[in-house]
A and B are shown apart, each in its own frame.
Chain A
Amino acid sequence: MSVTINIKNLVKSYKKVEALKDISLIIKPNELFGFIGPDGAGKTTLFRILTSLILPDSGLITVDQWDVIRDFKNIRKITGYMPGRFSLYMDLTVQENLEFYAKLFGTNIQENYDLIKDVYEQIAPFKNRRAGALSGGMKQKLALSCALIHKPRLLVLDEPTTGVDAVSRKEFWELLKKMQKKDITILVSTPYMDEAALCDRVALMQSGKLLSLDTPQQIINDFKGNLFAIRTEKMYTLLNSLTAFDAEMQVYRFGESLHLSTSLNPSEAKEKITRYLTEKGYREIYIEQVTPVIEDCFLALMNKTIVS
């Protein structure tokens, strides 16, 4: 039931900006697939082409046997799309919005209720409230319900968790996992790297290019070099000092510490850095090797592309 998506050599430019530069990838049936990347990476453009809202300059996308340009009518029937910006009617109630979209797809709420049940139950107490009066998290759940109401085989969610509080974000991802069990291919984009670990596979995008594409575990396994967390009593100048130390090392902020990756072996690196920082007058130096998480991998990849 769920679909395969085949993207081949996709190119799209706006007036001056190249939004997508030759993107190719395949998304497998029933996959929970994440597109991770900063603003302007091209995630939304890719989704808008996939949902037949805009046309690509060249390249093609197929959803199962259907071409996204030629057979857009068929694709629209089986796709649920949640745009990045809340796009339901603010002056209609929760229930009216849901009913309206159900009717447009020639169905009704009862028919597909078990599909949306998990999501809708959470907003059902507010079903007579206008959509405009809902909180951010509630709005997202309503939008998800509306995107699911016609039993889609493909669900496309453009930054569903942006601007939503941490608790709602967690709930939202739990819901997505449940949806996936109902045999739907799910595409999610997000600027939050920690959400990448929750996907089956992730694609890291930056400036219209694919930087990497793999399972979260494999991306971590592919991390090259050793990673250290560094703290001193004077954090303010530390980043500049370490960046100036050795061009081969990569340094970036990570929570309360700095993360540094290097190809040197652990003991040699530890000693070299400690000596350098002591010379520079830093005290209370804390340096510890850590295992990389997915964010380290992405930051390393993104830094590498900026340098090259």
Chain B
Amino acid sequence: MRTIRYILQKEFIQIFRDKSMLPIIILIPVLQLLVLSYTATFEIKNIRLVVVDHDHSTDSRNLINKFSGSRFYKYLGEESSYKQAENDIAAGKTDQVLVIEPDFEKKLITEGNASVQVVTDAINGSAASLMAAYAVSIIQGFNENIVVHKSPLHYHGLPIDVSSLFWYNPELNYITYMVPGILVLLITIIAMFLSSMNIVKEKELSTIEQLNVTPIHKLEFIAGKLIPFWIIAMVDLVIGLLLARFWFGIIIVGSPLLLLSVAAVYLVLVLALGLFVSSLTETMQQAMFISWFVLVIFILMSGLFTPIESMPVWAQQLDKFNPLAYFVKINRMIMLKGAVFNDFRKDFFILAGYAAAMLTFSILKYRKTSG
């Protein structure tokens, strides 16, 4: 056990002596959290709108005002013909075109209904569906207004009134949603990259040669190598949580201690993966590339950016082996929903079992491949 202490001592001297290391482990994660949390947004603001108004009536004017008054829209102006507006979309000058038919107002009064056309640039599918949904909701609001105005006596409200409530994140605030996920991502990157590179470094610089002829035990060596990065990742998580609370103003509904305990187990799994990568590789460059490929897959499939439920079945099956998917889920449950241990018991035990298995496997693998 004393040997572990000596290795830890050595590791921390080396980590803090390296001038590029402190920024990497403290400053960069904080910066990334700040930048990513503001930019990885699902909301669409400033939708550029061009209108082709064939009617030029009070009603058509009112409809346009509804759009230009919305905080999601940026009204660019009118085009004289649909053809012209189409060109605007093709040239990427506008995102959406609203076409109002001739006699729009007249039809509304005499026939009780009229139609408008909404054309959306769907080069980005998910953005297009959001923009279309925004347009529909604005037109619906306008509709309701007309009914009330034109025949107030007959208005009994629309037959079915749909009103939505979003639990755990009532304002659908994306920062609330993203920050916990990005936090997970950052500590994963830190733990995996640094641990895999650090162990390989001993091989690459052949310092392992001198170490292997000492009476040091493999397990002591591995423990001494992994514990520093476990500590660093935990410190990063605490800093991240403080930022979430005091910078982003996210109320952590559940217990922060519970969250840290789950993270403690989760990090063992990530470090075991790092150890595994380092047993496969001989140089830091190789270790970095493999870690990177593995992490990209884990991150994109973690449910952080796209919901796991909407992935194909095989991908969902694959996600059972994705440590990030478990922790992103548990993390959000605790931070936003106030989940207690019982709520995610099953996921936690899978995570813990996974960690134990991976650590055992990596240690065995490491012993086989070296000295």
Interface residues of A (CB under 8 A from B): 51-54, 73, 76-77, 79, 81, 83, 85, 87-92, 96, 100-101, 103-106, 146
**Which residue of chain B lies nearest to A52 when distances are taken between CB atoms in the complex?**
B213
Give the chain A neighbours of B261 by CB distance below 8 A.
none
Give the chain A neighbours of B159 by CB distance below 8 A.
none
Give the chain A neighbours of B215 by CB distance below 8 A.
73, 76-77, 104-106
Whether B371 lies near A53 (C-beta < 8 A) is: yes
Give the chain B neighbours of A88 by CB distance below 8 A.
207, 210
Whether B6 lies near A83 (C-beta < 8 A) is: no
Check A103/B6 contact, CB under 8 A, given A76-B214, A96-B13.
Answer: yes
- Minimum-distance CB pairs A-B, first 3: A87-B210, A81-B213, A103-B6
B124 at interface, CB cutoff 8 A:
no
Interface residues of B (CB under 8 A from A): 2-3, 6, 9-10, 13-14, 17-18, 205-216, 371
Whether A53 lies near B14 (C-beta < 8 A) is: no
Whether B14 lies near A91 (C-beta < 8 A) is: yes
In the complex, what distance in Å separates the CA atom of A76 from the CA atom of B218? Answer: 14
Check A85/B209 contact, CB under 8 A, given A73-B215, A77-B215, A104-B214.
Answer: yes
Whether B14 lies near A89 (C-beta < 8 A) is: yes
**Which residue of chain A lies nearest to B214 when distances are taken between CB atoms in the complex?**
A104
In the complex, what distance in Å separates the CA atom of A76 from the CA atom of B211? Answer: 11
16 additional A-B pairs beyond A83-B206, A87-B206, beta carbons within 8 Å, are A51-B213, A52-B213, A52-B371, A53-B213, A53-B371, A85-B209, A87-B207, A88-B207, A89-B10, A90-B205, A92-B10, A96-B13, A100-B6, A104-B214, A104-B216, A105-B214
Can you spell out 18 A-B residue pairs with CB atoms less than 8 angstroms apart? A52-B213, A53-B209, A76-B213, A76-B214, A77-B215, A85-B206, A87-B206, A89-B10, A91-B17, A91-B18, A96-B13, A100-B10, A101-B214, A103-B2, A104-B215, A104-B216, A105-B215, A106-B215
Please count the residue pairs between chain A and chain B whose beta carbons lie under 8 angstroms apart in the complex.
60
Whether B210 lies near A83 (C-beta < 8 A) is: yes
A81 to chain B, nearest CB (A): 4
**Which residue of chain B lies nearest to A76 when distances are taken between CB atoms in the complex?**
B215
In the complex, what distance in Å separates the CA atom of A87 from the CA atom of B212? Answer: 11
**Which residue of chain B lies nearest to A102 when distances are taken between CB atoms in the complex?**
B6
B354 to chain A, nearest CB (A): 33
In the complex, what distance in Å separates the CA atom of A111 from the CA atom of B9? Answer: 21
Interface of chain A, main secondary structure:
loop
Give the chain A neighbours of B214 by CB distance below 8 A.
76, 101, 104-105
In the complex, what distance in Å separates the CA atom of A81 from the CA atom of B177? Answer: 56
**Which residue of chain B lies nearest to A79 when distances are taken between CB atoms in the complex?**
B213
Check A53/B13 contact, CB under 8 A, given A88-B207, A90-B205, A104-B6.
Answer: no
Interface of chain B, main secondary structure:
helix
B13 to chain A, nearest CB (A): 7
B6 to chain A, nearest CB (A): 4
B342 to chain A, nearest CB (A): 46
In the complex, what distance in Å separates the CA atom of A73 from the CA atom of B218? Answer: 12
B261 to chain A, nearest CB (A): 33
In the complex, what distance in Å separates the CA atom of A52 from the CA atom of B3? Answer: 20
Whether A83 lies near B3 (C-beta < 8 A) is: no
Partner of A89, one of B3, B6, B9, B207: B207
**Which residue of chain B lies nearest to A51 when distances are taken between CB atoms in the complex?**
B213
A84 to chain B, nearest CB (A): 9
B15 to chain A, nearest CB (A): 10
Whether A92 lies near B213 (C-beta < 8 A) is: no
Give the chain A neighbours of B18 by CB distance below 8 A.
91
Whether B209 lies near A87 (C-beta < 8 A) is: yes
B19 to chain A, nearest CB (A): 11
Whether A53 lies near B10 (C-beta < 8 A) is: no
Partner of A83, one of B2, B10, B14, B209: B209
Give the chain A neighbours of B209 by CB distance below 8 A.
53, 83, 85, 87
A155 to chain B, nearest CB (A): 12
B248 to chain A, nearest CB (A): 37
Give the chain A neighbours of B14 by CB distance below 8 A.
89, 91-92
Give the chain B neighbours of A54 by CB distance below 8 A.
371
In the complex, what distance in Å separates the CA atom of A77 from the CA atom of B209? Answer: 15
A299 to chain B, nearest CB (A): 32
In the complex, what distance in Å separates the CA atom of A81 from the CA atom of B212? Answer: 10
Check A146/B205 contact, CB under 8 A, given A89-B10, A89-B14, A103-B6.
Answer: no
Give the chain B neighbours of A90 by CB distance below 8 A.
205
Give the chain A neighbours of B2 by CB distance below 8 A.
103
Give the chain A neighbours of B17 by CB distance below 8 A.
91-92
In the complex, what distance in Å separates the CA atom of A106 from the CA atom of B5? Answer: 12
In the complex, what distance in Å separates the CA atom of A101 from the CA atom of B13? Answer: 15
Give the chain A neighbours of B212 by CB distance below 8 A.
53
A66 to chain B, nearest CB (A): 14
**Which residue of chain A lies nearest to B210 when distances are taken between CB atoms in the complex?**
A87
B212 to chain A, nearest CB (A): 6
In this complex, the member of A51, A87, A105 whose beta carbon has the largest number of chain B beta carbons within 10 angstroms is A87
In the complex, what distance in Å separates the CA atom of A18 from the CA atom of B318? Answer: 45
**Which residue of chain B lies nearest to A101 when distances are taken between CB atoms in the complex?**
B214
A128 to chain B, nearest CB (A): 13
**Which residue of chain A lies nearest to B208 when distances are taken between CB atoms in the complex?**
A87
B208 to chain A, nearest CB (A): 8
Check A146/B210 contact, CB under 8 A, given A53-B371, A92-B14, A100-B10.
Answer: yes
Give the chain B neighbours of A100 by CB distance below 8 A.
6, 9-10
In the complex, what distance in Å separates the CA atom of A103 from the CA atom of B208? Answer: 16
In the complex, what distance in Å separates the CA atom of A51 from the CA atom of B214? Answer: 10
Give the chain B neighbours of A146 by CB distance below 8 A.
210
Give the chain B neighbours of A105 by CB distance below 8 A.
214-215
Give the chain A neighbours of B9 by CB distance below 8 A.
100
Give the chain B neighbours of A85 by CB distance below 8 A.
206, 209
In the complex, what distance in Å separates the CA atom of A54 from the CA atom of B205? Answer: 18
